[in-house]
């Protein structure tokens, strides 16, 4: 693939992430819907460009950062780097795919290898997000 074709493909892929997404499924360390410190978060992620902001039910923003995708890997790869919150400065290697208006990703803890499948093991988290709006203005 030529560089201009790759840039175009990357731009189209980044466009798929735009908007606000509500978490509808969660798995950590091999346990679905674990009872943990995120129990009542009801997180929503808003992506603008290659930046993201996570807002939880009480209106606070525990996490924000940037992401970088790599279309050359199978499954598709994404690196999340937190710039705000408890993990500021850390990068989390992940894989992802889209299924209609759902985004599914599986991420490893910092320093761990990128997951190979969409099923967690110790040190990994999987989230299923449902699109709420397709841009930062809240329009669908």
- 96: domain CATH number is 2.40.128.280
Identify the pLDDT of residue 36: 58
Instruction: Report yes or no on 42 lying in a domain.
Output: yes
Q: Is residue 138 very low, low, confident or very high in pLDDT (cuts 50, 70, 90)?
A: very low
- Percent of residues in the chain assigned helix, strand, coil, to nearest 5: 10, 45, 45
User: Count H helices, E strands: the chain?
Assistant: 1, 9
SS3 state at 76: coil
For the chain, give the mean pLDDT. Answer: 91
Identify the pLDDT of residue 137: 46
Instruction: Report yes or no on 139 lying in a domain.
Output: no
As for how many domains the chain has, the answer is: 1
Instruction: Report yes or no on 100 lying in a domain.
Output: yes
Instruction: Report yes or no on 72 lying in a domain.
Output: yes
**Containing structural domain, residue 68:** 3-133
For 93-135, what is each residue's pLDDT tens digit? 999 999 999 999 999 999 999 999 999 999 999 999 999 976 5
Q: Is residue 65 very low, low, confident or very high in pLDDT (cuts 50, 70, 90)?
A: very high
Q: What are phi and psi of 78, to 5 degrees?
A: -140, 140
Instruction: Report yes or no on 140 lying in a domain.
Output: no
């Amino acid at each position: 693939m030529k560089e201009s074709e790759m840039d175009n493909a990357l731009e189209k892929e980044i466009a798929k992430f735009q908007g606000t997404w509500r978490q509808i499924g969660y798995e950590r360390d091999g346990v679905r819907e674990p009872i943990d410190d995120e129990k009542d978060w009801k997180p929503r992620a808003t992506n603008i460009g290659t930046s993201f902001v996570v807002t939880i039910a009480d209106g606070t923003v525990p996490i924000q950062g940037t992401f970088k995708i790599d279309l050359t890997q199978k499954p598709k790869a994404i690196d999340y780097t937190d710039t705000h919150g408890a993990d500021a400065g850390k990068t989390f290697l992940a894989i992802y795919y889209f299924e209609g208006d759902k985004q599914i990703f599986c991420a490893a803890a910092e320093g761990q290898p990128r997951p190979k499948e969409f099923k967690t093991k110790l040190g990994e988290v999987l989230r299923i997000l449902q699109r709420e709006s397709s841009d930062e203005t809240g329009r669908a």
